[in-house]
Amino acid sequence: MKEMYPKKGRVILHVDMNSFYASVEMAFDPSLKGKPLAIAGNPKERRGIIVTCSYEARKYGVKTTMPIWEAKKLCPQLIVMSPNFERYRAASHGMFDILHEYSELVEPVSIDEGYVDITDSYELGSPLEIAERIQKQILSQLDLPCSIGVAPNRFLAKMASDMKKPLGITVLRKRDVEKVLWPLPVVEMHGVGKKTAEKLNTIDVFTIKDLAMANDIQLKALLGINGLRLKERANGIDDRPIDPEAANEFKSVGNSTTLPSDIANQHQLLLVLESLAEKVAARMKRKKVMAASIGITIRYKDRKTITRSKKLLNPVSQKEEIYAESKQLFLKNWNGDSIRLLGVTGADLIEKEQAVKQLDFFSYEREAKKEPLLETVERLRLKYGKGIIDRAVEKAPIKDSKENITSETSFSKDFLDFFSDE
């Protein structure tokens, strides 16, 4: 089989699960198979947006990010379910376990997709045979469909996996680029979003071929160094290795929430901010990091969005510290209008062991005294629930606050959390 592999190049697979959340629900409950199914937020609230849907639902025109009311209009028989992230994480674990049977070089890029370098896996069969075996194994063991791209690099493997769905396997060689990729609109190229495509259109770049042939100086002026990288991709060039540790390299930890209704009450908004700070602190603790800067996101009722951040004198990781900094940023930048979304982010992360605080004597004393208390509170919350102990102030109740205000609405594939919970 070794002769079926390149002597100097690589063989990369991109494994992309098909309609992952919906497929997991169908595997869990086979009675859902063959029916139009959508996974979404709470249908009774504004954040009822389609996260993913089955291919049966797509036939009716149902799409990701579509409001539930619109999807129901297109497909009255649509079954709408809330997400079950524990179920999806378990399925993802199973999928990546299978990929590791074929190579040690597996790089997860989200909860439902990853790259596999099978260059040295020739004893297991030809590249196409390995792709077929992986696809069949995931389907037979997990009852989940996937599409696989087979190519000499990451970019081409990703483009290939998108070409046949569901249950497709596509081989895309470098010599195929001109015939297969170049005729496509530039917006269909991986790494080029709608806004980037609009910018490229201004310099008469409309297809992937146009990008492959574009002027370097124009591209760099328009998009910076990323413009030149995109041109390389358009020519089928991508030397990035498959890095199993890449999922652990992150620069920020954030949480955001869409409010059930537009809120202009400062007290209520600060309670939301405190809840977000607590979630960010919990995630940072799991990752054993501290943040050297804190940022906030404010989206107003007219959808105007602002982000503000500040560098900190000393890195922080505790909820109280994150809340204090984000509160200060919020009060300084909020214009008083009604808000529909709030977010808190800890950035410029430092491993806890490497974080050196520049503390004066009194602040050091305060930090040292707080640590045993915080550890005790954390143990009590873990044992009896997070509501067992809370500060007496700022506990004015909000109707349905637990159900509505603190519910996260981001369904992005948080694979960093996924891998840190091992």
* Alpha-carbon distance values, 287 to 96, 110, 221 (Å): 21, 17, 38
400 labelled as ligand-binding?
Answer: no
Lookup: tokens for 54: 């089955």
3-class state of residue 9 by DSSP: coil
Q: Residue 191 region, left (φ>0) first, then alpha (ψ -120 to 50), else beta?
A: left
Cis before 166? omega within 30: yes
120 labelled as ligand-binding?
Answer: no
Q: Which amino acid is at 290?
A: M
CA gap 139, 156 in Å, rounded: 24
What is the enclosing helix (H) or strand (E) of 399?
none
Q: What is the DSSP string of 363-395?
A: HHHHHHHHHHHHHHHHHHHHHH-TTSS--STT-
Catalytic residue among 113, 274, 278, 321: 113
CA gap 22, 289 in Å, rounded: 34
> Measuring CA to CA, which residue among 311, 172, 156, 337 is closest to residue 236?
156
Annotated active-site residue 113? The verdict is yes
Lookup: tokens for 298: 């404010």
Kindly list the strands in the beta sheet with 12-17, ordered across the sheet, starting from the edge strand earlier in the chain: 106-110, 113-117, 12-17, 146-151, 169-171
3-class state of residue 253 by DSSP: strand
What is the enclosing helix (H) or strand (E) of 263?
strand 252-263
Lookup: tokens for 162: 């998108």
CA gap 232, 214 in Å, rounded: 11
> Measuring CA to CA, which residue among 120, 124, 142, 143 is closest to residue 133?
124
CA gap 240, 154 in Å, rounded: 7
CA gap 95, 114 in Å, rounded: 10
CA gap 329, 345 in Å, rounded: 12
Known catalytic residues? 113
Instruction: Provide the annotated binding site for Mg(2+).
Output: 16, 112
